[in-house]
Homo-oligomer: A and B are copies of this chain.
Amino acid sequence: LSATILALDFGGTKHAAAIAAPGERQWRAVRRAPAPPGADANSDIRTMIALARELLSSASPLAVGVSFGGPVDTERGVVRLSHHVPGWEGVSLPRILEQEFGVRAAVDNDANVAALGEYRFGAGQGCRSLLYITVSTGVGGGWVLDGRIWHGADGMAGEIGHTTVDPNGPLCPCGKKGCLESLAAGPFVARAAQEQLTEHPGEGRLLLDLAGGKIEEVTPKLISDAAEGGDDLSRRVLDAAAQALGRAIGNAANLVNPDLVVLGGGMMNSGDRFWKEIRRVSCETALPQLRVEVVPAALGNEAPLWGGVALAEEILGLAS
């Protein structure tokens, strides 16, 4: 156990710790715990250290790589904030972990770390650059360029969720109109379907059936199931979300021309039609001289943990 890397994933609703030996592609062991309501930064850190100690007992790992569910100032080595848990502002998470485990630790935000995880161990193996996009309750993203996470001047690179896809689109909570997030993230897709059901009574029968007749119980999963079953309203709603994603991806391809675009997150389980429409509009939006390869994430919810391993390997000089 002393020759293992410790990977930690501080999520909004759950935490995970895992250990793996450098070069290996399977976990030696994984531990998970919910982030209980009422948690703060200190309790989160204690929970995580307890998980890690279950894995390591008194041994030291070789290095620690950490995914954090919120913005991180990687240059200063501090968490900026958590959108879910109070008390994280300015916490020097790498230093705390270095003191606890006696080895070096690296921390980055979850979308960046997941991008690195997919690049090194998942869908992006063998490519030089990729854009990772996660589409779930929000839309996040991260870049790997020439094998390294690209942070940008303020550590904010990858915010594809708040690129404007349609200046006349729906209002996003960020205050702008037609952000990708407001057109493609799960809660917004569910709301769009609910609005359509209300505006067009008689349409979307299958969707409404699946929701037990209750418009307010419509979820992205039910929309996907209804679309699969041939429900026109559900297909229309999902097509619109796919088109927004395709447009944002095509724009990103025109701007940066990455080798690969990797899509993960719960919304990406919305079926073949959803994927086809994303790919169609991505290619249509990008110039014909450039390739836009759009593939599913390979690591699922373990991408941040594997990205943690990759961060730790960078510390150890093991990253190729």
Binding site for B on A (CB under 8 A): 71, 127-129, 141, 143, 145, 150-160, 162-168, 174, 176, 247, 250-252, 254-259, 284-285, 287, 289-291
Contact = CB atoms under 8 A, between A and B. Distances in A.
B162 A287 contact: yes
Contact of A176 (B157, B256, B284): B284
Contact of A256 (B157, B162, B284, B285): B157
B251 A143 contact: no
Nearest to A258: B153
Count the copies. 2
Nearest to A169: B167
Q: Which 10 A-B pairs have the closest CB atoms?
A: A152-B257, A157-B257, A156-B290, A163-B251, A159-B254, A153-B259, A154-B290, A156-B257, A163-B254, A162-B254
A290 B285 CA distance: 26
Given A159-B255, A255-B159, A257-B154, A164 B129 contact: no
Nearest to A244: B167
Contacts of A168: 166, 168
Contact of A154 (B160, B162, B165, B289): B289
A84 to B, nearest CB: 17
Contacts of A159: 254-255, 257, 287, 290
A24 B23 CA distance: 48
B289 A71 contact: yes
Contacts of A128: 153
Nearest to A163: B251
B129 A256 contact: no
A245 to B, nearest CB: 13
